[in-house]
Amino acid sequence: MIHLSEPLLDGNELEYISRCVKSGWISSKGRFVTDFERQFSDHLDCHSIAVSSGTAALHLALKSLGIGPGDDVIIPNLTFAAVANAVIHCGALPVLCDVDRTTWNINPELIESLITYRTKAIIAVHSWGHPADMVRINAIANKRNIKVIEDCAEAQGALYEGHMVGKLSDVGCFSFFSNKIMTTGEGGMVTTRDSRIADKVRLLRDHGTRGDYWHEVAGFNYRMTNLQAAVGVAQMERIDKLIQHRIDVGEHYLSRLIHSKLVMPPCCVWAKTVFWLFSVLVESRDEFISALKRKGIETRPFFHPLHKQPPYRLDAVFPVSEELSARGISLPSGNSITKDEVDHVCDAILELV
Ligand SMILES: *Cc1c(COP(=O)(O)O)cnc(C)c1O
């Protein structure tokens, strides 16, 4: 079986975890948490605050920007539900925006019509490894004093006009779930160039206290453990290789499949995609998935559009989200997949189409 995405844990992960266990520092105090944050800050050149998941990162990003009841937050309609859930758990309303056919990301042309006096923030998700159109999104937001959050969970290392995602707006959010570009098991990171936002995120992450049991605000426990950070430090030691592997896998898929009938993933001239899970659009998606499964190849259909699911249901039409969701599948692209395995998947696909 060729799996969709498997982590690569053959560096210093085990060694660092056993150091945690031997030292007894297994909760959120310990040097791996601060080391991991420092490595991440150096890599991205901005403040980095490690948290317990990508969803926690989104929740804290919104909270640190003051999002609360009565506020609207504009989000893409075709993304992982954590984006909408984080908004809802702030007491705010997620306002769904259709995605764009050329980037598979939130469509900047449609954002403006969704803005009201209640709109406080936009979450730009860099989906399937490809950056959202940040210059246009920032321009719309800056005119009206609306905050912008980047969700980089699927696009760590991707570039927008040569700049790494995660510091192109007010706050960036990363996830280290096992199928992401790098992993800590579960985990996340909040990134920002603004030291006041960084300070608020740190405070909210740890029950609203600075460690002295004096609580300035009602915070959360969204701390990352030293055990998770130990894995993170080992992964960051070779982060450039992990990112490059995704790009190499994606480019190999492209070179093999570009002349097939399948629609290839977005690659805008202003962007450097990392492909995350290399994804294509096919005609009969479900048949395609079962045919590949019979050949021992695991794939995954795209997310359901948010507006069709119970907590976010809307009686509206989102033509691009609906089409991409019906036709999109992700192909095996994990950190440990080999070139031969990618070739095997491509052979199977070319035989099918
Ligand atoms: C994975 C993912 C998240 C959430 O990450 P968790 O670490 O699983 O909480 C958020 N947004 C997007 C777009 C994701 O793909």
Q: For residues 223-250, give the mean pLDDT.
A: 98
Q: Diameter of the chain by CA atoms?
A: 65
Atom of ligand 1 nearest to the CA of 186: 7
Task: List, in sequence order, the alpha helices (H) in 105-178.
Answer: 108-114, 134-143
CB 13 within 8 A of CB 309: no
The residue to which tokens 């994606």 are assigned: 250
Per-residue burial over 18-30, b if 16 or more Cβ lie within 10 Å, else e, is: ebbeeeebeebeb
Q: Which atom of ligand 1 is nearest to the CA of 55?
A: 9
- DSSP structure class, residue 209: B
- The residue whose CB lies within 8 Å of the most ligand 1 atoms, and thus the one to mutate among 154, 222, 302, is 154
Q: What are the beta bridge partners of residue 330?
A: 279, 300
Closest CA to 321 of 101, 123, 102: 101
For the Cβ of 80 lying below 6 angstroms from any atom of ligand 1, the answer is yes
Please write the tens of the pLDDT for every residue from 241-257: 999 999 999 999 999 99
Query: Is the Cβ atom of 153 under 6 angstroms away from ligand 1?
Result: yes
**Ligand 1 atom nearest 56 alpha carbon:** 9
Task: Please work out whether the CB of residue 103 comes within 6 Å of at least one atom of ligand 1.
Answer: no
Q: What pLDDT is stored for residue 31 in this prediction?
A: 96
The Å distance, Cα 72 to ligand 1 centre, comes to 21
Q: Ligand 1 atom 6: the closest Cα is on which residue?
A: 54
Q: Which of 41, 42, 17 is closest to 50 using CA atoms? A: 41
Q: In this predicted structure, what is the pLDDT of residue 161?
A: 97
- The arithmetic mean of pLDDT across residues 203-207, rounded, is 98
pLDDT in tens, 75-134: 999 999 999 999 999 999 999 999 999 999 999 999 999 999 999 999 999 999 999 999
Which residues does 140 contact at the CB level (< 8 Å), separation at least 6?
Answer: 108, 111, 112, 115, 122, 146
Q: Is the CB of 125 under 6 A from ligand 1?
A: yes
pLDDT in tens, 14-73: 999 999 999 999 999 999 999 999 999 999 999 999 999 999 999 999 999 999 999 999
Contact call for residues 84 and 224 (beta carbons, < 8 A): no
Nearest Cα residue to atom 7 of ligand 1: 54
**313-337 pLDDT, tens digit each:** 999 999 999 999 999 999 999 999 9
Q: What is the pLDDT of residue 152?
A: 98
Strands of the chain (E only): list them: 47-51, 72-76, 93-97, 119-125, 147-151, 159-160, 163-164, 171-175, 188-192, 271-272, 279-281, 300-301, 328-330
**pLDDT tens per residue across span 271-322:** 999 999 999 999 999 999 999 999 999 999 999 999 999 999 999 999 999 9
Provide mean pLDDT across the span 129-157: 98
Which amino acid residue places its CA nearest to atom 5 of ligand 1? 54
Shortest-distance atom of ligand 1 to CA 58: 10
- What's the pLDDT score for residue 269? 97
Spacing, Cα 67 to ligand 1 middle (Å): 19
Report pLDDT for 290: 98
252 burial type by CB count under 10 A (0-12 exposed, 13-18 middle, 19+ buried): middle
The pLDDT value given to residue 171? 98
pLDDT digits (tens, 9 = 90+) for 165-184: 999 999 999 999 999 999 99
Determine the Cα angle at 217 with ends 44 and 75, to 5°: 50
Answer yes or no: is the C-beta of 73 below 6 A from any ligand 1 atom: no
**CA 54–ligand 1 middle distance (angstroms):** 5
- Cβ(277) to ligand 1 under 6 A? no
Question: Residue 343: what pLDDT?
Answer: 98
What CA–CA distances, in Å, run from 238 to 27, 231, 232, 301? 25, 12, 10, 30
| Atom 2 of ligand 1: nearest residue by CA position | 153
In angstroms, what CA-CA distances link 327 with 262, 280, 283, 302, 312? 10, 8, 6, 8, 22
Question: From the alpha carbon of 179, which atom of ligand 1 is closest?
Answer: 1
- pTM of the shown model: 0.98
- The pLDDT assigned to 195 comes to 98
Contact predicate 246/181, CB 8 Å: yes
Q: What share of the chain is helix, strand, coil (3-state, %, to 5)?
A: 40, 20, 40
